[in-house]
Structure 1
Amino acid sequence: MNTTLEKVEYGEAHLKLVIAAATMEAGLEKSYKKNVVKYNIPGFRNGAAPRTILESKFGAEIFLADALAFVVPNEYYAAIKHFALNIAGEPDIEVGYIEKGKPVSVKVRVPVKPEIALGKLEGLEVKVPKAAEVTAKAIDMYLQNLCFRNKRIVDKANEAVAMGDTVTIDYEYSVQGTAMSEKEKDFKLTLGSGNFFPGFAEKLVGARKGDKLNVEISFPREHAIVQIAGKNATFKVTVNKVENIQLRELNDQFAQEIANLNSLAELRLDSKNKLLAMASQQAENAKKQAVINALLAKSPFTVSDLVIRPRAQAMLAELSNQLQAQGGSIDLYLQMVNSTADNLKQKIWEDAKIITKSICILEKLVEAKDFAVSAEELNTGIKTFAASIGMDTKNAQKNLGPLVEKVLFDLKANKAIQYLLDHAVIKTDIF
């Protein structure tokens, strides 16, 4: 094995692998045997053309991708074992120039577990926000949302659109003649909800199912997206369906049918208690993250972007899926909130970075303190986790398989956070 560990810094190891010509040739031959069946060359049985014939006709590179897939991982993992690297994610691999009969140089950048020197664990100063108050207005909004979730939907057939209705539309739009989106199909919009461009919904009033219309609106001059700021947009809209939303009346009967409670007064009290629990949980989560942040500030270290990137990509994909489930898109969301793709990506990147570093330092703290988890605690944690993902709690430990290790770590991490909180100086921010 001809491998060099060039450096380890900033949470990454930089390797140089030199793959011997004979090893590369073996990989190419293996790739040829795998792929030859795809080629039908006159004068040869199907899948029996010699490698030299195929390479001369289609180029030597036709077998290269699979050859590298066969060869590079073996060399890479051998290097990881040889240098005893504690890897933390997938590598970035750059293959050099390939010349037949010559060794191949491969550069590898791989994330490694960061070296963390824990700062003092006791006496961390933490400022946490006060739990949000639950006002009468907040309870009213909660009940209104409850009404909306239990709404009745009536198809208006060919009746005209009115404010408060929900329309299902296809649309595409352009700004001063330049197309700004692909056609969105079956987008649902409730008129008056404020969940679309200002001024758009009002111009659908009076339209009927099957109507095709052009809707023109103007974007504000201060819009963050330069391409549309201060310009007029034309929407080509097709109305597919018009529905009337009939909200239930908030009364004792509603409380009995929806929440199995005796009266609206009981429903208000139940709603208040749920909001208080939510506010308390949010404050608790903020307190936990605050003490982790305080420890991070005392224990500086670097994590590789190779670890942050996949987490950020997953978070962006999750947001995109949520928006699509609501009939929207990332582009539409950005235009509505007056932001840009770069701003959103930067925000998600910073969030992903904090999450990644939080996990790293909790792993270090769990290792340093060796928090114990009893069999009873683990069993309860497994059942709770199984229930949270919709899995039958019976035989959950067997069915979860390797996820049991995740449950075990989460339990230890919670003990680690509690240790920090128990020994922290906590100040409540009343503002």
Structure 2
Amino acid sequence: MKATWEKIEKNLGVLEVEVDAERVASALDKAFNKVVKQVSVPGFRKGKVPRPIFEKRYGVESLYQDAIDILLPEVYSEAVDQTDIFPVDRPDVEIDQFAKGETFKFKAKVTVKPEVTLGDYKGVEVPAVKFEVTDEEVAEELERLQQRHAELVVVDDEPAQSGDITVIDFDGSVDGVQFEGGQAERYSLELGSNSFIPGFEEQVVGMATGDFKDVEVTFPETYHAEELAGKAAVFKVKVHEIKRKQLPELDDEFAKDVSEFDTLAEFKEDLKKQLEGRKESEAKAARENAVVEKVAEGATIDIPESMIQSEVQNMMRDFDNRLRNQGMNLEMFLSFSGQTTEDLQEQMKTDAEKRVRNNLVLEQIAKTENIEVSEDEINEELNTMGEAYKRSAEEIRSILAANGSLGSLREELALRKTIDFLVENSKEVEAPAAETTEE
């Protein structure tokens, strides 16, 4: 096989490939074996038609498309490796020649990973990150724990307040006509969660158990269902039950219930240490991000739109997975927030471009500085993952290999080492004091 690559503009080039006639013949054989199973010819059992009879009746050309579909992916992949390019989008393929007894020729317009021109990346200055844990922050953490361990108590003699969980029926209509998704029975709604259409939850506040009420709202102009966007709606609401959080007392008994300590004082001291450790990790991450951002800003890259869109899709999948872990999904989120998929993708686009830029710059620095990952480092990471997932390192390796993710693990470790290299070669400086003016 012969393969040549010629850049035509920016990150776009043409890959020209010629495949020998023997491989074309092999692909035609595979195509025939696939197609003949579905062919019936009088005098022959289905799938048993001899090749010469098949070609005389249907023509060898009837096998060409199947043969191309079989051959093209494997030879394209080989051509990419042979020419040492890194495609970042689907190729635009044009078939120049394909016939029995001849070579297979095709051209593919390919968008490749862009070239990166690095700026200064050693000795960059970033603001020093300082942190301390205050008594107020410890108190806030204790309050969060109180909320987490609160009991839900049914309230019968008081109206609903913000923060209460109401069990309601609702039946929504626009101009007197019900709309899809506007009805539910015994739905649990936390007032103040802003999970419903703006204005809905505020009008449920003050209702008591057994109350009926018409809640009038207006759908946002940007609501995902175009037929409802901007329209006034009426929801007939009935309150079945009101539940309110009852917080536990902050005392030694609380400390015993939620921790390994016997007294609240000991527990608060441990909480402070935990918060210090968390802030230290956050400060480390903040410095890493600041260094990478500054180094990336100094680089020159012409990023293909396809790379940004691909990263947006990755971010959408991650967001959907996080929602599912919370008992929701993307469709529900869009419904509640009044956004469209396009709105969400547009919001993610800036961060997606930044992620792509940062990764490209880190990859180029790793290449320039010969930063590589050893097998010992791979094994160490597999051991760490094994401990986290309660599996052996070999099991983790097998799972990653089966998913084709071992290469991604190596790339991730190389990026981590590159970030460590940049941080070690950076300088923390005190942020300048804010200027004051005297009248």
Q: Using structure 1 for the length normalisation, give the TM-score.
A: 0.71
* Deviating more after overlay: 110-119 vs 38-47: 38-47
State the match for 1:115 in structure 2: 115
Q: Secondary structure at the match of 1:126?
A: strand
Contact 1:131–1:279 (CA<8 Å) still a contact in 2?
no
Contact 1:85–1:112 (CA<8 Å) still a contact in 2?
no
5 Å-filtered alignment, 1:191-210, equals: 191-201=191-201, 202-203=203-204
Rounded Cα–Cα distance in structure 2 between residues aligned with 1:6 and 1:391: 50
Deviations 1:34-59 (A, max 9, x none): 24435678886344577579979xxx
Contact 1:261–1:267 (CA<8 Å) still a contact in 2?
yes
Rounded Cα–Cα distance in structure 1 between residues aligned with 2:3 and 2:117: 29
Q: Secondary structure at the match of 2:385?
A: helix
Cα pair distance change 1:256/1:341, threshold 3 Å: same
Rounded Cα–Cα distance in structure 1 between residues aligned with 2:185 and 2:166: 12
Rounded Cα–Cα distance in structure 1 between residues aligned with 2:105 and 2:214: 59
Find out whether 1:418 has 2:420 as its counterpart: yes
Q: Using structure 2 for the length normalisation, give the TM-score.
A: 0.70
Report the alpha carbon displacement of residue 319 of structure 1 after superposing the two structures with TM.
0.8
Rounded Cα–Cα distance in structure 2 between residues aligned with 1:108 and 1:187: 55
Rounded Cα–Cα distance in structure 2 between residues aligned with 1:380 and 1:75: 36
State the match for 1:87 in structure 2: 86
Report the alpha carbon displacement of residue 290 of structure 1 after superposing the two structures with TM.
1.8
Cα pair distance change 1:93/1:23, threshold 3 Å: farther
* Deviating more after overlay: 91-100 vs 283-292: 91-100
Identity of aligned residues (%): 25
CA RMSD of aligned residues (A): 5.1
Contact 2:15–2:108 (CA<8 Å) still a contact in 1?
yes
State the match for 1:149 in structure 2: 148
Contact 2:168–2:187 (CA<8 Å) still a contact in 1?
yes
Find out whether 1:249 has 2:248 as its counterpart: yes
Report the alpha carbon displacement of residue 72 of structure 1 after superposing the two structures with TM.
0.9
Q: Secondary structure at the match of 1:189?
A: strand
Deviations 1:198-241 (A, max 9, x none): 33345495578xx99985422467x68795665323568899x9
Rounded Cα–Cα distance in structure 1 between residues aligned with 2:81 and 2:25: 24
Q: Secondary structure at the match of 1:311?
A: helix
5 Å-filtered alignment, 1:91-170, equals: 91-94=90-93, 108-127=108-127, 130=129, 134=133, 138-152=137-151, 164=163, 166=165
Rounded Cα–Cα distance in structure 2 between residues aligned with 1:308 and 1:337: 24
Deviations 1:368-400 (A, max 9, x none): 223477887665443333334x14256578557
Contact 2:123–2:426 (CA<8 Å) still a contact in 1?
yes
Unaligned runs of 5+ in 2: 435-439
Contact 1:174–1:181 (CA<8 Å) still a contact in 2?
no
Cα pair distance change 1:125/1:394, threshold 3 Å: closer
Rounded Cα–Cα distance in structure 1 between residues aligned with 2:325 and 2:170: 17
Q: Secondary structure at the match of 2:15?
A: strand
Report the alpha carbon displacement of residue 249 of structure 1 after superposing the two structures with TM.
0.2
Unaligned runs of 5+ in 1: none
Specify the code of the residue in structure 1 equivalent to 2:281.
Answer: Q
State the match for 1:270 in structure 2: 270
Report the alpha carbon displacement of residue 260 of structure 1 after superposing the two structures with TM.
1.6
Structure number, greater radius of gyration: 2
Report the alpha carbon displacement of residue 362 of structure 1 after superposing the two structures with TM.
2.0
Report the alpha carbon displacement of residue 320 of structure 1 after superposing the two structures with TM.
1.7
Cα pair distance change 1:308/1:217, threshold 3 Å: same
Higher relative contact order (CA 8 A, sep 6+): 1
Deviations 1:246-289 (A, max 9, x none): 54504222221212222333333433433333333233222212
* Deviating more after overlay: 372-381 vs 63-72: 372-381
Contact 1:153–1:243 (CA<8 Å) still a contact in 2?
no
Report the alpha carbon displacement of residue 316 of structure 1 after superposing the two structures with TM.
0.3
* Deviating more after overlay: 403-412 vs 354-363: 403-412
Contact 1:248–1:254 (CA<8 Å) still a contact in 2?
no
Rounded Cα–Cα distance in structure 2 between residues aligned with 1:98 and 1:172: 64
Cα pair distance change 1:31/1:113, threshold 3 Å: same
Rounded Cα–Cα distance in structure 2 between residues aligned with 1:75 and 1:206: 71
Contact 2:119–2:298 (CA<8 Å) still a contact in 1?
yes
Find out whether 1:318 has 2:318 as its counterpart: yes
Specify the code of the residue in structure 1 equivalent to 2:148.
Answer: R
Cα pair distance change 1:26/1:4, threshold 3 Å: same
